[in-house]
Amino acid sequence: MPEVLRHPPKLVTAAIALVTVLALVLIATRDSSSQAASPTPATSVIILSGDGMGIQQRTAIQYALYGLDERQPMDALPYTGFLDTIPAGPIAVTDSAAGATAWAIGEKTINGYTGLGPDKKRVPTLLDIAKQQGKTTALINDHDVTNATLASFGGPVINRDWKSTIAAKEIYNNKVDILMGGNEAYWYPPGNPGKIPNTVPDEDRSEGRQGNLVEKAISQGYQYAYDRDTVAALTGPRVLALVQDSAKRRWVEEKGYKFKKDPHYVPVVDMVKKALDIADDNPNGFFFAMESDDLDSAGHEHDVRNVIQSGRTINQVVKAIQEYRETNPNVLLIVTADHETGGMTIEPMGETNTNSDGDDPIPYWGKKARNNAGPNGEVPKRSGPIKIKGTKDRKFKVDWTTPEHTGGMVPVTAVGPLAEELVGVHHNTHVFDVAKQALTASP
């Protein structure tokens, strides 16, 4: 600033002092409006995972749904960083259990363990820590609430497939206040059809191994919901909503199924709004762990159209949370992923596809393979073309390198108290450190 330097030193000092004061006033004004900077005892934390959502998935969702100018809600959050995803043990690529456990307990663990370190010892998860602080706790999913990601917070076990054990732990041991998601099959014993009709014979049959866990939850004081009306009627403080599992994926894969006509389909954003409504009554704040598991399934199935559907859900949820934060800024929101799935890459139209089978080449509810490249590299329909929103005719397609997860870093975006701590490149365990600090803030 040559003009300032030409002034006598005293004036320069005064000018610097004035600028400093103005800057502090500006920072203070900004803090008190939307960006609460320091956590208070009632700070709430929400971790939202797009399971399998690497940087290419986030970009594809941005282009398809928001185009080139309007930034999608999850990427419009003010702080951005990267997280590594490598688990403990000899393997270089994580599963969802080890990925989410890193956030839940701050320790890298063995693939398949949920909420337990490599020594299998039970240590407090973020959900336990939030409970100790008197906060309301919630686990919400578009797939089942006993899934590996959510089990890492509310159902620590050494095998992520012990679904009914996880369900029982969620209601008995860890007393999660709000459980919302799909797949009642793990909550009802064989022979009990539950509340949601099975639309495909031999699929979705009850296979609970812990008796009738819905009845047990009700006897523990949970309100129970299973469709849009009963979810709308929930008042809390403890709720169990078991609704249609992965309704949007099912819509694509199951002939004749229409999620909009299914009363058991409850949009994830409605469940989140209901959970916020219930948790809002607690002056101590809350802790939510949420995921879109369908995004990972779509990656395994090599279906970018379903990846984008899941991205729509995630952005709707971020928007709803941001609206809540307008009057409740003391909420730290972290949006990230446990890993990338499929080695998905955005490519120009005209290139051939090399992808091999997805790990579910025949979709879960479908009858025949349809996501594989043609013999001459023809692009499968579920890999493109995808139109870039707001453009006349710009399109892209995607290709895939693997039916499994990949080991690259994943983006993390955040807003709210301590969100700036996530800027930079960190281990995925850093999510635990920041969230714990926010949850245990003292006056």
Give the interface with Zn ion as residue ranges (CB under 5 A): 296
**β-bridge mates for residue 45, sequence order:** 287, 332
State which residue has the least CB distance to Zn ion. 296
Cα first-last separation, the chain? 42
**β-bridge mates for residue 404, sequence order:** none
**Shortest reach from residue 47's CB to Zn ion, in Å:** 18
Taking the least distance from each CB to Zn ion, the nearer of 43 and 341 is 341
CB neighbour list of residue 34: distance below 8 Å, 6 or more residues apart = 325, 326, 329
d(CA 52, CA 48): 12
d(CA 404, CA 359): 7
Q: Are 320 and 312 in contact (CB under 8 A)?
A: no
CB neighbour list of residue 373: distance below 8 Å, 6 or more residues apart = 352, 353, 354, 355, 356, 379, 380, 383
Taking the least distance from each CB to Zn ion, the nearer of 147 and 413 is 147
d(CA 16, CA 200): 72
89, with CB counted inside 10 A (0-12, 13-18, 19+), is middle
**Shortest reach from residue 307's CB to Zn ion, in Å:** 12
Taking the least distance from each CB to Zn ion, the nearer of 177 and 296 is 296
Structure tokens at 280: 């809002």
The H or E element spanning position 422 is none
**Shortest reach from residue 51's CB to Zn ion, in Å:** 7
Taking the least distance from each CB to Zn ion, the nearer of 102 and 439 is 102
d(CA 125, CA 103): 9
Taking the least distance from each CB to Zn ion, the nearer of 204 and 296 is 296
Q: Is 358 helix (H, G, I), strand (E, B) or coil?
A: coil
**Shortest reach from residue 293's CB to Zn ion, in Å:** 8
Taking the least distance from each CB to Zn ion, the nearer of 216 and 305 is 305
**Shortest reach from residue 341's CB to Zn ion, in Å:** 5
**Shortest reach from residue 94's CB to Zn ion, in Å:** 10
10, with CB counted inside 10 A (0-12, 13-18, 19+), is exposed
Taking the least distance from each CB to Zn ion, the nearer of 253 and 421 is 253
Taking the least distance from each CB to Zn ion, the nearer of 142 and 296 is 296
**Shortest reach from residue 117's CB to Zn ion, in Å:** 21
d(CA 80, CA 57): 16
Q: Are 410 and 87 in contact (CB under 8 A)?
A: no
**Shortest reach from residue 429's CB to Zn ion, in Å:** 20
